[in-house]
Amino acid sequence: MFVQEEKIFAGKVLRLHVCSAEGAEWLEEVSEDTTVEKLKERCLKHCVPGSLEDPKSITHHKLIHATSEKVLTDTKTVLEENIQDKDVLLLIKKRAPPPLPKMADVSAEEKRKQEQKAPDKDAILKATANLPSRSVDRTVAHHNMRDFQTELRKILVSLIEVAQKLLALNPDAVELFKKANAMLDEDEEDRVDEIALRQLTEMGFPETRAVKALRLNHMSVTQAMEWLIEHAEDPMVDAPLPGQTSSEAAAEAGASSAEASAAGPSSETGGEEAKDELTEIFKKIRRKREFRPDPRAVIALMEMGFDEKEVIDALRVNNNQQNAACEWLLGDRKPSPEDLDKGIDTNSPLFQAILENPVVQLGLTNPKTLLAFEDMLENPLNSTQWMNDPETGPVMLQISRIFQTLNRT
């Protein structure tokens, strides 16, 4: 019996399931040493009769192992591709590569990209060479975008001067200021955030010490707690704040001078003494807003290499805010400390509009309004409190509205 040599040495025969993209399915029996290219030829002959007449037909198709989703390599055998019996293969036609663009299309595309490209510095200079030059004053441009808080301080400084002149004409000015000033002193003594105070006392800090810490740190619980910890061993930790003793002494001096003026022999002498007493009261009010820098912020900024006077100026300008003070020291240092006590131009349309407002005019005759202005200069954070006050709130609201209206024009 004659047996062909290839039958004797043939590898293991595998039965493979083949599927085409059109949905046809069939079985192909191949040996392990059959190449993927030969297997693909047999699949094409079964699936697409006559397709082998086109030599490109084989290269335009590919076989994919369904389980591993791997594209089989034409030059490898079935065994090398690790194909097992009863595996499923997919016969897929390859996507045709995109046609190469014509030279005209390439030129048009490049031209479009060049048109969309941003101009470089040379192109900008060339295009603007014939334009007239203008020097824009950035300081003026920035000033036009005025910040209300910055302008409010200037407005308050000027309004304080006007209020003092108006109130000095009132024959009962001294008594009015004594009552208003005493009321403000009581407010300052009672002006402690109860929630913040409760948090500190619940931590174990004494109430009087917690009150002092909160006043020194503008009612910030975190900063007050840090202050209390830092000064726990300080023998002067329970000493009264600076200004409390002097305020009481000034109040006593004011009371004694008031009694002296009441017992004066003549109205002329009494008028002079009342005027002097009113001046003393104004001085006392001024002393209340003497700036006290945050000692921790002073130390931190001085450790950066800044001079102590510079640090205090920076903290005064920036309301004891350490980060803002640092930026001020590193920047152009504007506004300067001298600018803080400068009022707004009394001839400006803004100030004239404020003075012409009836609500403001009536408020300037109230001593509490003057004291509120002074308090806001010392601590701008108290502006919200005075905005909610039934006596000073309407005045502050009118000032804000007038500023916003004129700032838009």
Q: How confident is the model at residue 255 (pLDDT cuts 50, 70, 90)?
A: very low
Same domain, 204 and 174: no
- Tell whether 392 and 333 lie within a shared domain: no
* C-alpha dihedral (84, 86, 87, 88), degrees to nearest 10: 160
Per DSSP, 51 falls in state G
Ordered strands of the 88-93 beta sheet: 25-31, 13-20, 88-93, 61-65, 70-71
Q: Is residue 78 part of a domain?
A: yes
- 56 and 37 housed in the same domain: yes
359 plus 316 within the same structural domain:
no
Q: Is residue 371 a contact partner of residue 389, using CB atoms and an 8 Å limit?
A: no
375 in the same domain as 348: yes
Residue 250 — pLDDT band, cuts 50, 70, 90?
very low
Interval 292-327: pLDDT, tens? 777 778 888 988 889 888 998 888 888 778 888 899
pLDDT reported for residue 266:
43
- How many domains does the chain divide into? 4
User: What residues make up the domain containing 304?
Assistant: 295-339
CA–CA gap between residue 327 and residue 210 (Å, rounded):
31
**Do both 304 and 372 map to the same domain?**
no
b/e 349-382 (16+ beta carbons within 10 angstroms → b)? ebbebbeeeeebeebbebbbbbbbbbbbbeeeeb
Distance, in Å, from the CA atom of 39 to the CA atom of 61, rounded to the nearest integer, reads: 12
Give residue 285's pLDDT band: very low, low, confident or very high (50, 70, 90).
low
pLDDT of 215 strictly over 90: no
Number of H helices, E strands in the chain: 21, 5
Q: What is the Cα–Cα distance from 237 to 212, expressed in whole angstroms?
A: 9
Q: What is the pTM of this model?
A: 0.42
Q: What is the pLDDT of residue 398?
A: 92
Share of the chain above pLDDT 90, in %: 4
How many CB atoms are closer than 10 A to CB 60? Answer: 13
Together in a domain, 18 and 80: yes
- Confidence (pLDDT) at 179: 63
The model's pLDDT over 256-278, given as tens digits with 9 standing for 90+, comes to 444 444 444 444 455 555 556 66
Task: Calculate mean pLDDT across residues 380-396.
Answer: 82
Flag whether 102 is in a domain.
no
Tokens of 234: 């300080």
| CA pair distance 159, 346, nearest whole angstrom | 10
For residue 403, pLDDT over 50 is answered with: yes
Residues 172 and 197 in one domain: no
Please compute the mean of the pLDDT values over residues 1-27 and round it to a whole number.
Answer: 71
* 66 part of a folded domain: yes
Task: Name residues whose C-beta falls within 8 Å of residue 40's C-beta, 6 or more positions apart in sequence.
Answer: 58, 61, 62, 63, 74, 91
**Whether pLDDT at 137 is above 90:** no
* pLDDT grade for 242, boundaries at 50, 70 and 90: low
Q: Is 201 in the same domain as 182?
A: no
C-alpha distance across the termini of the chain, in Å = 114
Q: Is 177 left (phi over 0), alpha (psi -120 to 50) or beta?
A: alpha
Tell me, yes or no, whether 335 and 361 share the same domain: no
Instruction: Output the pLDDT for position 136.
Output: 47
Contact, 288 vs 241, CB < 8 A? Answer: no
Query: Is there a cis peptide before residue 335, judged by omega within 30 degrees of 0?
Result: yes
Pairwise CA distance, residues 80 & 35, whole Å: 9
278 is a domain residue? no
Contact in structure between 354 and 155 (CB atoms under 8 Å): yes
Other beta carbons within 10 angstroms of residue 81's beta carbon come to: 19
Domain containing residue 329: CATH number: 1.10.8
Q: Name the more confident of 111 and 231.
A: 231
Assess if residue 165 is contained within a domain: yes
CATH number at residue 46: 3.10.20.90
Query: Is the same domain home to 334 and 364?
Result: no
**Listed range (9-18, 50-59, 230-239, 385-394) with the worst mean pLDDT:** 50-59
Report the CATH number that the domain containing residue 216 is assigned in CATH.
Answer: 1.10.8.10
Res. 381 pLDDT band, cuts 50 70 90: low
Instruction: State the Cα–Cα distance between residues 316 and 332, nearest whole angstrom.
Output: 16
Tell me: do 26 and 86 sit in the same domain.
yes
pLDDT for 173: 66
Q: Which residue has the higher pLDDT, 58 or 398?
A: 398
Domain boundary among 210, 231, 252: 231
146 pLDDT above the threshold of 70: no
Say if 306 falls within a structural domain: yes
- The DSSP letter of residue 3 is -
Residue 210 lies in a domain: yes
**Residue 249 belongs to a domain:** no
Mean pLDDT of 209-230: 81
Average pLDDT taken over every residue of the chain: 75
